Amino acid sequence: MFANQCLDVKVVELKALGPDGDASKFFELCLEYPGWKQWSAGQFVMLRPQGPGFEPLWARAFSICRVDERGLWVFFQVMGRGTRKMSELTPGDIITLWGPLGNWFYVRPDTPTLILAGGLGLAPFVGYVLAHPKPENLRLVFGHTVPLDCYPYAELAGRVASEAFFDQGPSDLQAFIALIQDRVREFSKDGLVLACGPPRFLRTVRTFALKEGAEAQLSLENRMACGVGACLGCVVKDDKGNFVQVCFKGPVFRADEVNLD
C-alpha cells in the first residue's frame, strides 16, 4: 500500500454530465493534483469540503477516476445532503483530501482482461484504461440505468472494445445477467476479470467467477467514514467468516476471499 497523506487542495473544475443541465445529478470534479509520487487504479480518496454548510466530521470516499495535466478527477452522483453540497462547489473552494487509500486492481499487460462495471462502478476503470500499456487486451462491459452520457463512458469506448447495456426493467436485468455470465466464461481460462459496482452486481459477478473458475477481483463500494480502518463502519466478511475492513484490506478483493452473501 502506498503511503497516504492529508492536505488541502483547491477545486479546479466541476463539470455536470448528462442531458439535464443544471438539474444534473452526475458530476466530474477536478482537484489540484496532491503531488503523490504514485497511485494505482482501484484506490480511493476521502474528501471533506471546507467552509460553512459542511459538517465538521463529514467526509466521503470516492474512487480515483483519473489524473491528467489539470489534476485529480473524481466522479460522483448526488445521492444525499453531502454530495448535493459537493455539486455546489466552485473553482478555488478548498477540500481536505487524504489518500491515496486502499489497494488496487491487477495490471497484466499481456493478459486478456474483462472489465465489468455497474453504474458508478465505472469510475475507477477510467484511470485503469487510460494508463494500461496494452488497451487492445481490454474489454469493457458497462451496465447502466440512466442515459449513457451521465457517465465518463465515451473516453473509454474510444480506447477499448466495449459494450454498454441499458437496464430499464426486469426483462433487461435478466438479459444483462446472462451477458455477464457469457463474458466471464469467455475470460475464465487464461484471462482476468475486474469488477466494480453495487452489491447485487458484484454478487452476480462473484457467483459466475467462482462457477467458471475465473480469476477475478471485485472493488466493493461500502460506505466509509474514516478510510483508514479505525471506525469499523465498512466491514465485510471474508471467506473464513471473519470481518475485515473494506477501506483498509480493500477496497479491491479477490472474488474467492470475500463472502458477499
Give per-residue pLDDT as tens, 85-110.
Answer: 899 999 999 999 999 999 999 999 99
> CB pairs under 8 A, 24+ apart, for 200-207?
201/116, 201/118, 201/119, 201/121, 201/143, 202/118, 202/260, 203/260, 203/261, 204/177, 204/180, 205/116, 205/180, 205/255, 206/255, 206/258, 206/260
Query: What pLDDT score does 56 carry?
Result: 47
Mean pLDDT on 104-127: 97
Mean pLDDT on 32-50: 93
Q: How confident is the model at residue 26 (pLDDT cuts 50, 70, 90)?
A: very high
Query: Could you tell me the domains of the chain?
Result: 5-101 (2.40.30.10)
Which grid cell sits at 115?
A: 472489465
This prediction has a pTM of 0.92
CB 42 within 8 A of CB 99: no
Mean pLDDT on 3-30: 86
Our measurement of the distance from residue 243's CA atom to the centroid of its chain's CA atoms, rounded to an integer in Å, reads 22
Rounded Cα distance between 103 and 55, Å, is 28
Query: What pLDDT score does 1 carry?
Result: 45
Highest average pLDDT, of 22-26, 124-128, 242-246, 247-251, comes from: 124-128
The four Cα atoms 217, 223, 228, 231 give a dihedral, to 10 degrees, of -130
Give per-residue pLDDT as tens, 173-218.
Answer: 899 999 999 999 999 999 999 999 999 999 999 999 999 999 999 9
When the pLDDT of each residue in the chain is averaged and rounded to a whole number, the result is 89
